[in-house]
Amino acid sequence: MVWEEAPVNARVALALRRAKGKPRSSEALAEGARLSADEMPAAIDELVRGGFRIELHPIQGFRLLQGPDRLIEDELTCDLATERVGRTVQSVGETTSTNDLAWHAVAQDGPGADGLAVFAEYQTAGRGRRRSRWLAPPHSSVLCSIVLFGPPGAEGPASLTRAASLAAAQAIEAETDLDVGLRWPNDLVLDNRKVAGVLVEARPGEAPAGAAVVGIGINGTQRPEAFPADLRDAVTSLAAAGAPVDRTLLARRLLRRLDAVIADMTRETGPETLLQAAASRCHTLGRRITVTDGTETVTGEVVDLDPDYGLVLRLSDGTIRRFPAMTTHVVSQGG
């Protein structure tokens, strides 16, 4: 499903969103949006026609009561100022999976799809690692996929997973002040409950060489009852954690942080710096866990992350073993 969007003065809309429910004077809004005072009434009328609920106070000015329940392309791209990620943005109401739409763009446009970010309000077949389902009610989450075509350096799926997980954690913290941790290899957690996940796909032999799609899902406004009963102790959302968030501002922050992190990977010390940043957030470090690679199952203490974002385990006999992210599955985690 693709909707017809009413024209939106994105700079005014974003200024109202950033005010977090506080009023902004007409003069301040006009200055921030690079409009004249005479142009402001028409801009506000445009937003109202686009689904924004705006209160006007005769002295204090304009206050955003509620924005539309969808991500609007104009707002996502307005003054984004990224070098690569988000150079093109597509927002749809419903799709099987944003990763599917991203791969369709790769098939159509090849390298021209690099940097495309696809957002959806609802996925009918969203997926996670090891073919698990990603479930989220409509208009509740930030669900996106980014095409990276011919990524710089030696970026592989494991390194991109680390980079995207770190960028998502930083974006959430910047918008909410919540302390976000990483649970190897691709979960973001709040108090050990999953709040977001990353799925990086490469299709060697099917897609053009060097193409990868980075899928990111962040639980935003769900209340606990929105999750299946058997998952409520294991998952959460930003709202359930006490931090209601504007999904538009979070999506913009995510694109900017991912763009910065991907750029950092090209610098001489970038990969090591990113690995250390990910390790500092990794809740799996120091835990005793059981993993399997499909052929054997072993238990040990996680003592490090290797440069390719695999696990380094110390087994009960003192042996140090490395387990690559792309072929290793965590069976259970202890304290």
Burial of 114 (0-12, 13-18, 19+ CB in 10 A): buried
Is the predicted pLDDT of residue 45 greater than 50, yes or no?
yes
Look up the pTM and report it.
0.92
pLDDT for residue 52 is more than 90: yes
The whole-number pLDDT of residue 5 equals 57
Question: Partners of 88 in the beta sheet?
Answer: 116
pLDDT in tens, 216-269: 999 999 998 888 888 889 999 999 999 989 999 999 999 999 999 999 988 888
10-66: CATH topology: Arc Repressor Mutant, subunit A (1.10.10)
Mean pLDDT of 110-138: 82
Residue intervals in the chain for CATH 2.30.30.100: 288-333
Residue intervals in the chain for CATH 1.10.10.10: 10-66
| CA distance linking residue 66 with residue 53, whole number of Å | 5
From the options 3.20.20.70, 3.30.930.10, 3.40.190.10, 3.30.450.20, give the CATH code of 73-281.
3.30.930.10
- The mean pLDDT value for 168-193 works out to 95
The pLDDT tens digits for 280-318 are 999 999 999 999 988 889 999 999 988 777 899 999 999
Using DSSP's 3-state secondary structure scheme, residue 190 falls into: strand
Residue spans in the chain of domains classed CATH 3.30.930.10: 73-281
Q: Classify residue 192 by burial, with Cβ atoms within 10 Å: 0-12, 13-18, 19+.
A: middle
CA angle, residues 67, 82, 135, in degrees to nearest 5? 50
Cα radius of gyration (the chain): 21
CATH number assigned to the domain covering 288-333: 2.30.30.100
Q: For residue 160, which phi and psi values (nearest 5 degrees)?
A: -70, -35
DSSP 70: S
